[in-house]
């Protein structure tokens, strides 16, 4: 066991963790934050997506001890109010069983930040040439689909998830 | 007041789902809870030596944090299930850990319980075994080509093959069936062999169980979509009374046919919880999901269609070989649709099931229809070409006014409208008949279509109503929210039946203490539980005796007459379908566009039109989502999905590919939306499965139209699309 200092959803936490614990198991089994889901436990499905220092990571592939001192954001967040993206998921029915939803929403939030700072995706190279040096000016559906391809929804609510993200991205935050 | 039914209402549990507050079985936290990890066999057939089992258990017991190791050497005797539960349902005849033999790779051999998941995982990794291996039969060909060994353990383990009479408990759904003359008539004939692989349900939620005992009472939180069946099977294996078992199924993270019945890990978790006298939590790994929670079995199908020169069918044959395990019965009912979908004076359908050394299969979304309509609807495409008929016209020409096997009329059949509307919406009239005619940016483009059909099913169900003094009406039944939106649409039905606003009505599911309801499968929940909710709502209104339309009015009434609350708390039971009247069956039509880049062997489905007749649509937002999900499921089956077992050893050797955001087409989903009151008073038929029916065929037909390659084995892989184009159109 080793002691870690983490800032989780804005709150500093001192936790004792098994060195073998993944961030996912630490959150779920030791910190009671069960909103983050285990879908495959080996980095395929995206259900366990959280952000570490604002960047999306697969918490099942992240050893908890490897991020000592970091800031972690989960679906539970720090704000009891739901945000525009969560509202859009509700309104567009961006889920069915809901099991991948925490990962989809967390992933989409971070993805929108990636787009805002000009990160490129494979889809960016299929559009106008100027998107490559400048980043995509317009977040088209193909960009969203490509950038969200790491989050699997077995229920197949993909079209509604994309509609929700498009809607929230266009809405004033 | 506006009716709640028909409105695109948001999911009632949606807010919980977008905030992470939604509770699934693995989220259950109970004081003192400890963790279990399964250990499974690594060979396909043989026997673990008793010495190595004892040594492995001793090694695990000495590992840090370990509380208990359950093996065949110390497992208390478990009972054999009554025959009515195993003779035609995929429940295992042989209780888990009841001997040292191995029947397939991934069979449970031990369960390790420790204080933490990490400790249990480590201890489980220490358990390695010596096996006396035996030759395994891994495919139907192995079984059918060799004499069957004698049964073992009084028939708990069986070999060889069999030909089941009908599908599960449905006597009229004949798996060996024929009509018309014995000899196939002359005419234009297409005959082909089709193969479909092992498919996995792959719900994103891993199956999870939390079990604990309080005196002789067992409580199980489980990812299940059949609470009442699980209660019965679990009590039977454990040899305790059913009323000593409570099953809780909070939200279920997808099922698609799995998470039904009782899988063996649940029994072992309950046994371990009794042994350690603490709550035990067991979550399967993704790899264990493949071997321990069912799958769609492989099929090999021979389909032969004969038609006259006008394309009118004279004969339909579909003969299937499929597989089950050596310890449970399951027949993928591949040929059921061929018995009735098209008018055919002659019909012959058969099913042969080979018992192989593989895990037990079970229902998966569109059991029978998904693989069976793939073959049938590709064969229809072949017949369209052979007779020079448009594929839509061929289906219209062979539409049947009655259900030929039973002679019953259809209760509201709108197949023709689905075909015609779909063709219109898709722009089918612009399709050139000749393959390889369409090209876009150097890529082959193809248009394909197929019919869809799925039975309208209904079973008896209970429903409880509780009216609280604050003016809330709470309906409840032991059904399950697996993502289908049952809590939302039941609330809509309850609101309209009571005449109250939607805000006044809550529907609860997921507890065996609620009135019994059947499994959430066979697309029957809305018709089944909905009938019970509608009945309860109407009774509620009668018991109230006066019309009330708002929560505040109801609250006032209850305040004035507190005894009314008691009168408005009651339970009802609704029955099954009318077996004598017209037959309820859903129909539909799928149209799609596929792009095939032959340089890299990539097929992309770009556009999809589906028109479906599923009776009355209760919630168009949820219904369209369900159908898109079904189509996406079928898209995976067509182009991506197969459980990659090594043909020689039965070992799992890779990953299971699924459709992602990047793979799905643009959808145009519409419904005929005419109520079918022949099935139930709500006018609905289920929509959970019809979405997938015919989808793999529509894609395979579009791939043929794009490339000229008639591909009859699923999934359609990169290799098959890369092959150089042969001038001969059919393989």
Say what the pTM is.
Answer: 0.97
In degrees and rounded to multiples of 5, residue B174 shows phi and psi of: -75, 130
Question: Which of B25, B114, B204, B254 to mutate to test binding with chain A, by most A CBs within 10 Å of its CB?
Answer: B204
| Minimal CA separation from A26 to chain B, in Å | 10
Q: H-helix or E-strand containing B209? A: strand B208-214
Mapped onto helix, strand or coil, the DSSP state of residue B218 is strand
Inter-chain touch B118–A21, beta carbons under 8 Å:
yes
- The reported pLDDT for the residue numbered A126 is 80
DSSP string, B658-674: ---GGG--EEEEEE---
- The reported pLDDT for the residue numbered B78 is 97
Inter-chain touch B20–A76, beta carbons under 8 Å:
yes
Inter-chain touch B253–A96, beta carbons under 8 Å:
no
Over chain B (731 residues), the average pLDDT of each successive run of 10 is: 92 98 97 98 98 98 98 97 92 97 98 98 98 97 95 97 94 96 98 98 98 98 96 97 97 95 94 98 97 97 98 98 98 98 98 98 97 98 98 98 96 97 98 97 96 97 97 97 97 97 97 97 95 98 94 95 95 92 96 96 97 98 98 98 94 93 97 96 95 98 97 96 63 43
Task: Find the CB nearest B206 among A36, A39, A155.
Answer: A39
Task: Find the CB nearest A98 among B17, B256, B622.
Answer: B17
Task: Find the CB nearest A47 among B204, B483, B485.
Answer: B204
| Minimal CA separation from B490 to chain A, in Å | 16
- The reported pLDDT for the residue numbered B260 is 85
Residues of B in contact with A157 (CB under 8 A): 625, 628-629
Inter-chain touch B286–A101, beta carbons under 8 Å:
no
Inter-chain touch A152–B629, beta carbons under 8 Å:
no
Inter-chain touch A157–B633, beta carbons under 8 Å:
no
ipTM of the complex: 0.97
| Minimal CA separation from A35 to chain B, in Å | 4
Residues of A in contact with B35 (CB under 8 A): 29
- The reported pLDDT for the residue numbered A173 is 39
Closest CA to B20 of A59, A40, A37: A37
Inter-chain touch A20–B122, beta carbons under 8 Å:
yes
Inter-chain touch A74–B20, beta carbons under 8 Å:
yes
Inter-chain touch A18–B116, beta carbons under 8 Å:
yes
Residues of A in contact with B484 (CB under 8 A): 96
Residue A134 has pLDDT above 80, yes or no: no
Task: Find the CB nearest A145 among B21, B253, B662.
Answer: B662
Residues of B in contact with A61 (CB under 8 A): none
Nearest CA in chain A to B252: A97
Residues of A in contact with B122 (CB under 8 A): 20
Third-level CATH fold of A2-73? Ubiquitin-like (UB roll) (3.10.20)
Single out the catalytic residue among B382, B481, B689, B719: B689
Mapped onto helix, strand or coil, the DSSP state of residue B410 is strand
Mapped onto helix, strand or coil, the DSSP state of residue B318 is strand
Task: Find the CB nearest B18 among A82, A96, A150.
Answer: A82
Inter-chain touch A93–B286, beta carbons under 8 Å:
no
User: B58: Cβ–Cβ under 8 A, 6 or more apart, which residues?
Assistant: none
User: B145: Cβ–Cβ under 8 A, 6 or more apart, which residues?
Assistant: none
Residues of A in contact with B660 (CB under 8 A): 149-152, 158
Inter-chain touch B658–A152, beta carbons under 8 Å:
yes
DSSP string, B101-159: EE-STT-EEEEEEESSHHHHHHHHHT----EEE-----SHHHHHTSPPPPPBGGGTB--
Q: Is B689 marked active-site?
A: yes
pLDDT in tens, A45-104: 999 999 999 999 999 999 999 999 999 999 999 998 999 999 999 999 999 999 999 999
Omega of the bond prior to B715 within 30 degrees of 0, cis?
yes
* Residue B523 half-sphere exposure toward CB, CA atoms < 13 A: 30
Inter-chain touch A98–B633, beta carbons under 8 Å:
no
Q: Where are the domains of chain A?
A: 2-73, 80-169
Task: Find the CB nearest A44 among B29, B252, B655.
Answer: B655
- The C-alpha atoms of residue B349 and residue B305 are separated, in whole angstroms, by 12
Task: Calculate the alpha carbon distances from B137 to B243, B245, B326 in Å.
Answer: 41, 38, 10
In degrees and rounded to multiples of 5, residue A16 shows phi and psi of: -95, 130
Residues of A in contact with B117 (CB under 8 A): 25, 29
Residues of B in contact with A42 (CB under 8 A): 286
Nearest CA in chain A to B287: A40
| Minimal CA separation from A33 to chain B, in Å | 9
pLDDT band for position A172 (cuts 50, 70, 90): very low
CATH superfamily of A80-169: [2Fe-2S]-binding domain (1.10.150.120)
């Amino acid at each position: 066991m080793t002691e870690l200092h983490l800032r989780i959803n804005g709150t500093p936490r001192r936790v004792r963790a098994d060195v073998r614990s993944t961030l996912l198991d630490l959150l779920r089994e030791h910190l009671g934050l069960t909103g983050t889901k285990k879908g495959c436990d080996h980095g395929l499905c995206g259900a366990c997506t959280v952000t570490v220092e604002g960047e999306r990571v697969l918490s099942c592939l992240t050893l908890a001890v490897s991020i000592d001192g970091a800031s972690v954001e989960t679906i539970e967040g720090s704000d009891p109010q739901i945000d525009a993206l969560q509202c859009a998921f509700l309104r567009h029915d961006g889920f069915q069983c809901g099991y991948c939803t925490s990962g989809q929403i967390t992933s989409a939030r971070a993805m929108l930040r990636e787009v805002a700072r000009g990160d490129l995706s494979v889809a960016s190279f299929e559009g106008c040439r100027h998107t490559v040096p400048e980043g995509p000016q317009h977040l088209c559906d193909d960009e969203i689909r490509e950038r969200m391809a790491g989050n699997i929804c077995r229920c197949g609510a993909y079209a509604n998830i994309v509609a929700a993200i498009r809607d929230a991205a266009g809405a004033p935050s | 007041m506006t009716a709640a039914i028909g409105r695109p209402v948001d999911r009632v549990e949606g807010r919980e789902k977008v905030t992470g507050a939604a509770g699934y079985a693995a989220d259950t936290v109970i004081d003192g809870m400890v963790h279990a990890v399964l250990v499974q066999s690594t060979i396909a057939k043989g026997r673990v030596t008793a010495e190595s089992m004892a040594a492995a258990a001793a090694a695990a017991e000495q590992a840090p944090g370990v509380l208990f190791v359950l093996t065949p050497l110390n497992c208390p005797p478990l009972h054999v299930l009554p025959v009515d539960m195993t003779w035609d349902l995929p429940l295992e005849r042989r209780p888990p850990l009841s001997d040292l033999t191995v029947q397939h790779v991934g069979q449970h051999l031990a369960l390790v319980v420790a204080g933490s998941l990490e400790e249990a995982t480590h201890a489980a990794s220490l358990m390695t075994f010596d096996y006396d291996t035996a030759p395994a039969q891994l495919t139907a060909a192995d079984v059918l080509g060799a004499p069957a060994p004698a049964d073992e353990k009084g028939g708990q383990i069986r070999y060889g093959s069999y030909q089941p009479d009908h599908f599960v408990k449905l006597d009229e759904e004949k798996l060996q069936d024929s009509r018309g003359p014995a000899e196939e008539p002359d005419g234009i004939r297409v005959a082909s062999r089709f193969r479909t692989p092992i498919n996995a349900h792959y719900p994103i939620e891993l199956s999870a169980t939390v079990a604990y005992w309080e005196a002789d009472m067992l409580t199980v939180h489980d990812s299940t979509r059949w609470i009442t069946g699980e209660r019965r099977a679990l009590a039977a294996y454990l040899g305790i009374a059913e009323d000593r078992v409570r099953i809780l199924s909070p939200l279920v993270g997808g099922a698609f046919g799995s998470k039904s019945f009782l899988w063996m890990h649940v029994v072992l978790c309950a046994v371990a919880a009794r042994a350690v006298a603490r709550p035990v939590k067991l979550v399967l790994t993704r790899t264990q999901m493949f071997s321990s929670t069912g799958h769609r079995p492989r099929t090999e199908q021979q389909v032969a269609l004969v038609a006259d020169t006008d394309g009118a069918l004279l004969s339909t044959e579909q003969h299937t070989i499929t597989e089950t395990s050596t310890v449970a019965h399951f027949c993928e009912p591949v040929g059921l649709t061929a018995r009735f979908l098209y008018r055919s004076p002659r019909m012959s359908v058969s099913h042969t099931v080979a018992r192989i050394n593989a895990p037990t299969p079970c229902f998966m979304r569109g059991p029978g229809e998904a693989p069976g309509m793939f073959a049938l609807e590709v064969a229809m495409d072949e017949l369209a070409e052979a007779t020079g008929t448009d594929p839509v016209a061929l289906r219209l020409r062979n539409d049947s006014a009655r259900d030929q096997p039973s002679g019953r009329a259809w209760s509201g059949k709108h197949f023709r409208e689905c075909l015609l509307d779909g063709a219109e919406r898709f722009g089918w009239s612009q399709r050139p008949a000749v393959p390889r005619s369409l090209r876009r940016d150097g890529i082959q483009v193809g248009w394909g279509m197929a019919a869809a059909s799925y039975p309208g099913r209904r079973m008896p169900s209970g429903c409880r109503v509780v009216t609280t003094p604050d003016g809330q009406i709470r309906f409840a039944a032991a059904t399950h929210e697996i993502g289908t939106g049952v809590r939302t649409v039941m609330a809509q039905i309850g609101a309209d039946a009571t005449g109250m606003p939607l805000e006044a009505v809550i529907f609860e599911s997921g507890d065996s203490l609620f009135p019994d309801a059947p499994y959430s499968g066979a697309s029957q929940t809305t018709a089944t539980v909905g009938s019970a909710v509608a009945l309860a709502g109407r009774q509620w209104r009668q018991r109230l005796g006066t019309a009330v339309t708002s929560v505040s009015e109801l609250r006032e009434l209850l305040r004035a007459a507190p005894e009314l609350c008691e009168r408005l708390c009651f339970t009802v039971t609704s029955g099954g379908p009318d077996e004598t009247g017209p037959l309820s069956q859903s129909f539909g039509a799928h149209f799609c566009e596929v792009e095939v880049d032959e340089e890299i062997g990539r097929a992309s489905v770009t556009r999809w039109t589906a028109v479906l007749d599923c009776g009355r649509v209760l919630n168009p937002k949820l219904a369209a989502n369900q159908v898109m999900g079904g189509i996406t499921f079928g898209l995976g089956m067509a182009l991506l999905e197969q459980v990659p077992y090594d043909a020689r050893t039965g070992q799992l050797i890779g990953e299971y590919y699924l459709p992602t955001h990047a793979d799905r087409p643009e959808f145009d989903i519409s419904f005929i939306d005419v109520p079918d009151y022949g099935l139930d008073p709500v006018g609905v038929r289920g929509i959970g499965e019809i979405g997938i029916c015919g989808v793999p065929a529509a894609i395979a037909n579009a791939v043929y139209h794009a490339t000229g390659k008639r591909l009859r084995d699923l999934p359609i892989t990169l290799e098959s699309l890369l092959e150089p184009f042969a001038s001969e159109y059919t393989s």
